[in-house]
């Protein structure tokens, strides 16, 4: 039995991936996970035998998808791991840009070395597995597991005495080495890789650039939930900088702005004619509301239903678990020609 490894992606669907896949119709064979994030849903769908296409605008998520979904058999060997961790740390891009921003200077020098060594691996898939694992190690060393915390706070929370006094947790794992965390996870990642005999493909683009090119029976939509903690560029943009060794720009169409999100959804729905079934995840504490989304979806199909269940998002750093109702909108596409490319910006709710 293959097991999805520890990815720790904010807003992931790991706990409800099976429930979502159980709703898929039996005549569907291919699935496009349009906002694939940490790939929890894609992994379950791959396991169920779907041919899976993934997409996410962040580079790191593309590498996770390449490693776990597109990849059928390549794993990292002991020699590959030795390659990544050999040599002397040096003052490179991370040292110059992120010392005492997210990591201590010595740690940045190590990251620079490992990044350069990943380039020496002999296949692109191996590089993707290595990036997915480096992400895991960087996240483990980072308080709250995201890269929009200021340095003073990071230092404070990485101070084990302070953390113990204040929160009764030492968080010693933040101070373990990158190599320690990498070695702790490499077997789980390797063992998670399997072949479902399908031609699974990972994409890395703004979803609005792909909808005319990718075709599948099902499109699964799990966009950032507007109004909740959802700044994915803020959370993980640093890892994209690490991969490209350059500062990447924040992305557009990010589903952050409450004022424009309804027309963004309308624009999205107007471009889904390539897909017979649409599955949209959303919850009861985000915008647009369930009724507004139903209104928008009904413009394109009269066959829309919503199933719901409780889902707890554990927000790292908060003791309390937020109790949410999770919605799954299920649409059978009856694309009305007159709605194609209609003026979504003028929609009145």
Binding site for ligand SAM (CB under 6 A): 9, 11-13, 35-38, 40-41, 55-58, 61, 206-207, 222-224, 232, 253-255
Taking the least distance from each CB to ligand SAM, the nearer of 113 and 239 is 239
Collapse the DSSP code of 254 into the 3-class scheme (helix H, G, I; strand E, B; otherwise coil) and give the result. coil
Least Å distance, CB 56 to ligand SAM, is: 5
User: To the nearest whole angstrom, how small is the minimum distance from the Cβ of residue 82 to ligand SAM?
Assistant: 31
Nearer to ligand SAM, 9 or 131 (CB): 9
Q: Which is nearer to ligand SAM, 38 or 288 (CB)?
A: 38
What values do phi and psi take at 170, rounded to 5? -80, -25
Closer residue to ligand SAM, CB minimum distance, 159 or 188: 188
Residue with Cβ nearer ligand SAM (174 or 271) = 271
- Smallest separation (angstroms) from ligand SAM to the CB of 236: 7
Least Å distance between CB 178 and ligand SAM?
23
**DSSP labels, 175-220:** GS-HHHHHHHHHHHHHHH----SS--EEE-S-GGGTTTT--EEEEE
Q: Whose CA is closest to 347, among 295, 278, 271?
A: 295
Q: By Cβ distance, which residue is nearest to ligand SAM?
A: 37
Of 299, 300, 293, nearest in space to 328 by CA: 293
Q: Write down the H helix ranges in the chain.
A: 17-22, 40-47, 59-65, 78-84, 93-98, 105-118, 124-140, 151-158, 160-167, 178-192, 232-244, 261-269, 290-298
State the nearest-atom distance from the C-beta of 117 to ligand SAM, in Å: 27
Label residue 225 exposed, middle or buried (CB < 10 Å: 0-12, 13-18, 19+). buried
In the complex, the smallest distance separating the C-beta of residue 326 from ligand SAM, rounded to whole angstroms, is: 12
Q: Which CB atom, from 50 or from 114, has the smaller least distance to ligand SAM?
A: 50
């Amino acid at each position: 039995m293959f097991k999805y490894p520890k990815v720790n992606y904010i807003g992931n669907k790991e706990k409800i991936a099976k429930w979502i896949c159980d709703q898929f119709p039996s005549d569907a064979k291919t699935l496009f996970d349009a906002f694939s994030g940490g790939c929890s849903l894609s992994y379950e769908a791959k396991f169920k035998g779907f041919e899976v296409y993934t997409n996410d605008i962040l580079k790191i998520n593309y590498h996770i998808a390449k490693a776990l979904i597109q990849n059928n058999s390549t794993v990292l060997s002991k020699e590959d791991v030795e390659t990544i961790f050999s040599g002397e740390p040096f003052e490179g891009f991370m040292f110059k840009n992120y010392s005492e921003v997210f990591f201590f200077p010595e740690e940045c020098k190590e990251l620079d070395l490992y990044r350069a060594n990943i380039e020496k691996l002999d296949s692109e898939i191996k590089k993707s597995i290595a990036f997915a694992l480096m992400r895991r190690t960087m996240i483990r060393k980072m308080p709250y597991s995201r890269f929009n915390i200021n340095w003073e706070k990071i230092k404070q929370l990485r101070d084990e005495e302070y953390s113990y006094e204040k929160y009764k947790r030492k968080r010693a794992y933040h101070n373990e080495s990158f190599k320690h965390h990498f070695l702790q996870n490499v077997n789980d990642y390797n063992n998670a890789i399997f072949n479902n005999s399908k031609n699974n493909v990972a994409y890395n683009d703004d979803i609005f650039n792909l909808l005319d090119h990718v075709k599948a029976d099902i499109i699964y939509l799990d966009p950032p939930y507007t109004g909740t903690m959802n700044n994915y560029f803020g959370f993980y943009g640093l890892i994209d900088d690490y991969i490209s060794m350059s500062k990447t720009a924040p992305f557009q169409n990010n589903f952050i702005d409450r004022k424009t999100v309804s027309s963004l959804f309308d624009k999205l729905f107007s471009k889904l004619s390539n897909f017979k079934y649409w599955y949209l995840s959303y919850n009861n504490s985000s915008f647009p509301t369930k009724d507004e989304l139903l209104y928008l979806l009904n413009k394109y199909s009269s066959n829309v239903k919503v199933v719901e269940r409780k889902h707890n998002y554990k927000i790292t750093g908060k003791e309390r678990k937020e109790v949410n109702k999770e919605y799954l909108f299920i649409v059978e596409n009856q694309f009305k020609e007159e709605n194609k490319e209609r003026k979504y910006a003028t929609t009145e709710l």
